[in-house]
Amino acid sequence: MTSIQRVALVTGGSRGIGRAICVRLARMGMKVGINYVSNPTAAEETLRLIEEAGGGQGFLAPFNVADASAVQEHIKTILDVHGRIDILVNNAGITRDGLVARMKEDDWDSVLDTNLKGAFLCSKVVMRAMMKQKWGRIINIASVVGCTGNSGQVNYSAAKAGLIGLSKSLARELASRGITVNCIAPGYIVTDMTDSLGADVQLALKEQIPLGVLGTPEDVAAAAAFLASDDSAYITGQTLHVNGGMYMV
């Protein structure tokens, strides 16, 4: 590990999986930027958890990842203030589920804009700084349904499959610059996103999971910690599946 304090930016760091990743990276000694779009109270709680975890350091970074000019402006400010971004975790995501027959164009656009275009926009700005540093880690949070498909989620699964393709292509573009790009594809993880599923759906999901339980945000954060570390130096363009065995590649 370098003696320089690494700076991480986690999109959608205010809640759920993003929050767990923020706390975990801060515990590794990184300074962590907590991005969010609408929920400052939740983001402040993430910051409190970081600071509570043995004097960790964090800062809030409110912007909409789907808005190109906001991404450009806010990431430039982070680079001006903190000097560097070494790790980018593209985690911000939303769902607008429905069968295709009833899905509105706006449901398609908003999911693709946040879950896929957001990762493109943030990576494009952050990678310039990483190229100067000759070191970087980009970690994209995809989903098991980007590999398996899921009825009622054409928009979401298309965005997540797109994220896996984006990661492989960007990994090839950036490999010679000391920057790795990988995906994590979580299965069903207990967060606000899955809380809305009824108890009967959760029970049916558990039956598809060989390990017999839904995952926790910390399960995904452990994988992100590995991909953000020096230990993953020879891994790029890969998708790490964190799903209790429900989908085996």
* Residue 33 within binding range of ligand NAP, rule CB under 6 A: no
93 or 162: CB nearest ligand NAP: 93
Are 160 and 145 spatial neighbours (Cβ–Cβ below 8 Å)? yes
Q: Active-site residue among 36, 156, 234, 247?
A: 156
Are 18 and 50 spatial neighbours (Cβ–Cβ below 8 Å)? no
Binding residue for ligand NAP (CB under 6 A) from 114, 123, 153, 236?
114
* Residue 65 within binding range of ligand NAP, rule CB under 6 A: yes
Task: Please say if 156 is a catalytic residue.
Answer: yes
Residue 52 sits at φ, ψ, to 5 deg, of: -70, -30
Number of residues that bind ligand NAP (CB under 6 A): 31
Separation of first and last alpha carbons in the chain: 32
- Residues 25-36, buried b or exposed e (16+ Cβ, 10 A)? bbeeebbbbbbb
- Report d(CA 13, CA 22) in Å as an integer: 6
* Residue 15 within binding range of ligand NAP, rule CB under 6 A: yes
* Residue 194 within binding range of ligand NAP, rule CB under 6 A: yes
Helix, strand or coil for residue 202? helix
* Residue 232 within binding range of ligand NAP, rule CB under 6 A: no
Binding residue for ligand NAP (CB under 6 A) from 8, 30, 37, 122?
37
* Residue 193 within binding range of ligand NAP, rule CB under 6 A: yes
* Residue 11 within binding range of ligand NAP, rule CB under 6 A: yes
CB-count exposure of residue 230 (10 Å: 0-12, 13-18, 19+)? exposed
Interface with ligand NAP (CB under 6 A)? 11-12, 14-18, 35-39, 42, 64-66, 91-94, 114-115, 141, 143, 186, 188-189, 191-194
